[in-house]
Structure 1
Amino acid sequence: MCPSAQWCCYTFPTVNAPDATASPATEPQEQSKKTHIRTVADLFVECLVNEGVETMYGIPGEENIPLMEAIERDGRIRFVLTRHEQGAGFMAATQGHLTGKPGVCLATLGPGALNLTLPVAQANASTTPLVAICAQGNVTRLYKESHQIVDLVSVFRPLTQWTSMVMEPASVPEMVRKAFSIAQRNRPGATCLILPEDVAEMPAPEDAHPLPLPNPMSFAPTPDTIERAVSIIRGAKHPIILAGNGVARGHAENRLLALAEQLNVPVATTFEGKGVISDRIPLALGVVGFMRHDYENFAFDEADLIIAVGFSIQQFDPKKINPNDDKTIIHINTFIEDTDAHYSTALNIMGSIDATLSALVDALKRHHVTFGVSHPKIHELLTDEYESYAQDDSFPLKPQRIVADTRRAMETDTDIALVDTGALKMWMARLYPTYYSNTCVIDNSLSTMAWTLPGAVAASLENPGRPVLAVMGDGSFMMNVQEIETAVRVGARIVILVWVDEAYGLIKWKMDLHDGSHEYVDFNNPDVVALGMSFGAKGHLIESADELYPTLRSALRSGSGIDIIACPVDYSENMKLIDKLGEVDFSA
């Protein structure tokens, strides 16, 4: 929409002329305060503040001018103007992922709202709390075909946990409370509130105020349920623990480690659960979810019991670890998993993951239940692969070298890396050593491209002073490159490492696996460094293998601004990895 067009149909309220004796420097502001009537938009903002909203990401439009004015009047919410609604949604989703509280994004009606659908769907798929707010045209024209009108309730309903439109001023406190409550319930996800322009401008009922927030609840399983779990575990010979992102969401990392150590059994994580158990722990196996039979899969081949903690089937297809549906599964999460032919559960424990694991560990101690299941060969193979090209000087750089240099350059174990979708995700997920949850963040539910650049902006704002690394392919980089301007403008501190191969590398890889050839996946890039610099970022081009580590280390420690590093990558290693995995023999 043309910016000038946003104003052409808006009728400004009439303001009476000031008294001639009044001071011209102060009277207009005082007059505005005296004449302003508290509107539904004002009430809406009061409710957002009551929910703890401090930051909102989005792009204004004509139909949400009343809400924008209310945000400005209130003054307690920081509005971050983005360059695309998709960027706003990814920022809100990343904030929600890192904080556990709903991130909030805003768009106008029609095309603006439709641009939010991808990040909203991503948040919902990955159990990330998010509240999307969309404007809508006047209620009086929603029944017919009209300029920019789309049935947004029907659009967002299948992408969210709950979507509704405000039709009655008095409903705002309940609707806002419901949107935030559902976004954070047992299965977190996205919700969407739609606010028509004419409703936003209506006077708010005098007695309408934000609702009090409920006390947080923690629900533990019954003793009988825990005893049933202990009985199943005692009957196993080769148990294994599978940990998903619910462990981080429930702050249950220490309990997970206690369970693993009590049973003395290995723990594998999903891509999204990466870091919920430190890779320094001997019982940590690494991640499952790679598109072929990876090292960790051999441990599942041997297992007869899978204790799935915080796992959901959207994180990866359980067929990869239970192809014959012959393994016993204990499912521990805040919600019951959906039906899947390869995820038949013997016991579902729905409740607080932390409280459940605490009770389970105590019961296992009382019954003296422990095993001795270990897979040292898996550790050996992963370590060898990680170190295989750590000193390799070939150029373009091999993926293993980039991963190793990236880990070395990160200053502390708690620095945050956001990993985009593409061939690089496979390498980073499998090989990047991770020691704390939410320090290597990967979307493997909807597997969205281009979320990490805007996501890094939100991560930086949530962690001021700490560098945030966005790891992207060149295909992803170009999809949301405009948000570099947002990052510069808001003073974010991020480093963007672009793996350059001038192709959609993951699709090329899968095509090569399919029939040995690929087509329609190659493209040409602009000058990535010059492009970044044109936005006000610092640009760096890697021209030899020994340049990446010092460049990345310096950028991460520079203390300010945006750094973009373009690093050519040699993806011929992709097919070599497939061949290598096909030759692994664990029976030897």
Structure 2
Amino acid sequence: MQVAHYLTEQLRIWGVKHIYGVAGDAILPWLDVLGKQEHIRYIACRHESAAAMMAAAEAKWTGRPAVCTATSGPGTLNLLNGLADAYADHAPVLAITGQVETHKLGGPYKQFVPQEDLLRPICLYTTTVAHPEAVGDVLHRAYATAGSQRGVAHLAVCKDIFSRTTSWPLVNALPRLQSGVGVNRVEVEHAAELLMGAKKPVILMGAGSRECGNLCMQLAEKLGAALLLTLGAKGVVDEAYPLVLGGLGEGGSKAGLAALAQADLLVTLGASWFPRSFVPADLPVVQVDHNPTAIHAHPQLSPVIAELSDVLPLWLRRLDKKTPDPGWTAQVKRWHASFWQETERLVEQGTEELIKPETLMHALSQVVDDNAIIALDTGEHTIWFNRAFRGRAHFPLFSGKWRTMGYGLPAAIAAKLNNPDRQVVAIVGDGGLQMASGELMTAAANNLHFPLIVINNKTLGLEEWKMIQSGLVPFGTRLENPDFVKWAEACGISGRRVRAIRELLPALKEAMAAQKLILLDIQCTLPTLTERKREIPFQAQAANVYNERKV
């Protein structure tokens, strides 16, 4: 069969449901084939970066390799930002790009760039298909590499190869993409001894704990441990649970800092993110992760290289006779109460006031479905989401380590395509929306229904805040925004502007109930420079807490 047919059919057999891309000269023969079949849905995006972000978001949600495509030259280059997000967050993505014809490789031809050199820093595997008989072998290797090593794989297919014939057979079965890491009993037992001896433990849960949430809660109960949740773990444990003290880092809570200041052991479960400045250097740490490269360099670290699902049952049996320290457990529950009170104080506002971002996040947590998927853009609002949104069984989709702006809307599109019957909510900043605004039409063209919440405060808030923290005068951070409601209406989308607190809850409830794509332009407060300077950075709070710890 033709190579274009082979690629399509092989991906269908392996379970690919969507391909995200932008049309271009070097992939036209493949698009012709995709347009004549019904098994794989091609999503025509407005920008290649967004196409790669959609693939990354799908991969983060499903855990399976997702596929994006682009043409040669500028198309491939535009994919880089979204692919870098997948690379940084270990999301399995396969990028299949067009390349110039085989006789033009290496020459001074339009849109030629050596794609392998371009993508190698963010790819686990990249190669160019310059002969039809090579396609089956390299496609299998690329797909298996992305899935098993959880990252980006890339195939550049020369334009003339798509239309040529290959005799390579279709492969119905893939090797098992995920293989477990054997448990080292010495590591597990040493860590168990530390757990047995701990009187004031704290557990930090990361995205890797999502499949073992109940076991993590059982461990916390057995130890009487305080629970801290990274953004990736938000929704793994209901934050109403009396041992939960919120997050850690700039999006964390004072209660969490207080617990760490008094703790005698930190247990990190499935969290590759580690805010060093918030963790006392003299605090012993036990970390469980299946990936050795995710282990933190901490002075008093005891690593356990294994799957959480293998380690936690062993620990629970080992700790069968363990009795939590009643004083510590009682203190953790008092901190939990203060954590909730801290949030209530954070969001106190008069009914006629402009809306603070933290108030918006808290209100949103009251109206979304318990299991909603929340697609977050990158910005100051991400910190407020972590602090003020009360998670239940929610699933946040976000750009974790790459932290690119413009991620929220593409992620919401991918989430809704893969979960048409589940509530999806997009939260984006005014700057982030303008980086991916074309994808409003992608959502509309695919008849997707979800609320798009725009935090409109006319600033790149996180950059402004960091400049002030560094003693710099903010410059280049204030935004002149268009009328987002008219923008939405121009795309055939409903829009509504929300200006004051009294309008917020009714507007949010209406948007959540609407079976359509709707944009809410939330007019949020813009802190003055004086107000920002009065805010106490969490880093300073952490330093104060740990100075007290040393005393």
Fold match by TM threshold 0.5: yes
**Closer/same/farther in 2, CA of residues 42 and 501 from structure 1, 3 Å limit:** same
Pick which of 272-281 and 491-500 moved more: 272-281
Aligned to 2:173: 212
Partners of 1:575 and 1:434 lie apart in 2 by 30
Aligned to 1:12: none
How big is the shift at 1:394? Answer: 4.4
Matched, 1:368 2:331: no
Structure with max Cα Rg: 1
Pick which of 502-511 and 336-345 moved more: 336-345
Letter in 1 for 2:171: P
Letter in 2 for 1:400: E
- Percent identity between the two aligned chains: 27
CA contact (8 A) 2:354 2:525 kept: yes
Letter in 2 for 1:514: S
TM-score normalized by structure 1? 0.85
Aligned to 1:11: none
Aligned to 1:569: 525
- 1:184 aligned counterpart, secondary structure: helix
How big is the shift at 1:191? Answer: 1.9
Letter in 2 for 1:209: L
Partners of 1:89 and 1:294 lie apart in 2 by 37
Task: List per-residue Cα deviations over 1:499-547 (Å, max 9, x = no partner).
Answer: 1111111111111222263122112111111011100111111122211
* RMSD across aligned positions (CA): 2.5
**Closer/same/farther in 2, CA of residues 509 and 106 from structure 1, 3 Å limit:** same
Partners of 1:543 and 1:346 lie apart in 2 by 51
Aligned to 1:10: none
**Closer/same/farther in 2, CA of residues 384 and 292 from structure 1, 3 Å limit:** closer
Aligned to 2:463: 507
Matched, 1:406 2:364: yes
Task: List per-residue Cα deviations over 1:88-146 (Å, max 9, x = no partner).
Answer: 11111111111111221111111011111111111111122222221111222222232
- 2:435 aligned counterpart, secondary structure: coil
Partners of 1:173 and 1:360 lie apart in 2 by 45
Partners of 1:397 and 1:121 lie apart in 2 by 34
Aligned to 1:3: none
CA contact (8 A) 2:101 2:160 kept: yes
Matched, 1:125 2:88: yes
**Closer/same/farther in 2, CA of residues 180 and 361 from structure 1, 3 Å limit:** farther
Partners of 1:245 and 1:506 lie apart in 2 by 23
Task: List per-residue Cα deviations over 1:473-495 (Å, max 9, x = no partner).
Answer: 11111110111011111011121
How big is the shift at 1:371? Answer: 4.4
**Closer/same/farther in 2, CA of residues 335 and 520 from structure 1, 3 Å limit:** same
**Closer/same/farther in 2, CA of residues 41 and 71 from structure 1, 3 Å limit:** same
Aligned to 1:353: 308
CA contact (8 A) 1:161 1:190 kept: yes
Matched, 1:171 2:134: yes
**Closer/same/farther in 2, CA of residues 213 and 269 from structure 1, 3 Å limit:** same
Aligned to 2:118: 155
**Closer/same/farther in 2, CA of residues 274 and 102 from structure 1, 3 Å limit:** same
Matched, 1:383 2:345: no
Partners of 1:132 and 1:221 lie apart in 2 by 34
Aligned to 2:351: 393
Matched, 1:303 2:263: yes
CA contact (8 A) 2:488 2:494 kept: yes
Matched, 1:488 2:444: yes
Matched, 1:545 2:508: no
Partners of 1:433 and 1:276 lie apart in 2 by 12
CA contact (8 A) 1:82 1:88 kept: yes
Instruction: Trace 1:75-474 onto structure 2 (pairs within 5 A).
Output: 75-185=38-148, 188-205=150-167, 207-210=168-171, 212-215=173-176, 217-248=179-210, 251-290=211-250, 294-312=254-272, 315-322=273-280, 324=281, 326-338=282-294, 341-342=297-298, 345-350=301-306, 352-365=307-320, 368=322, 370-372=324-326, 373-374=328-329, 375-388=332-345, 389-390=347-348, 392-410=350-368, 412-436=369-393, 438=395, 440-474=396-430
**Closer/same/farther in 2, CA of residues 46 and 148 from structure 1, 3 Å limit:** same
Letter in 2 for 1:183: A
CA contact (8 A) 2:243 2:333 kept: no
Pick which of 392-401 and 122-131 moved more: 392-401
- 2:35 aligned counterpart, secondary structure: helix
TM-score normalized by structure 2? 0.91
How big is the shift at 1:154? Answer: 1.3
Partners of 1:348 and 1:418 lie apart in 2 by 32
Unaligned runs of 5+ in 2: none
Partners of 2:249 and 2:538 lie apart in 1 by 17
Task: List per-residue Cα deviations over 1:315-360 (Å, max 9, x = no partner).
Answer: 35334314x3x3332221221135754476322322x322222222
Partners of 2:180 and 2:117 lie apart in 1 by 34
Partners of 1:582 and 1:179 lie apart in 2 by 46
Partners of 1:218 and 1:430 lie apart in 2 by 34
How big is the shift at 1:565? Answer: 2.9
How big is the shift at 1:217? Answer: 4.1
Partners of 1:227 and 1:581 lie apart in 2 by 35
CA contact (8 A) 2:450 2:518 kept: yes
CA contact (8 A) 1:61 1:107 kept: yes
How big is the shift at 1:66? Answer: 1.9
**Closer/same/farther in 2, CA of residues 195 and 211 from structure 1, 3 Å limit:** farther
Partners of 1:516 and 1:70 lie apart in 2 by 55
Partners of 1:285 and 1:164 lie apart in 2 by 47
Letter in 2 for 1:285: L
Aligned residues: 539
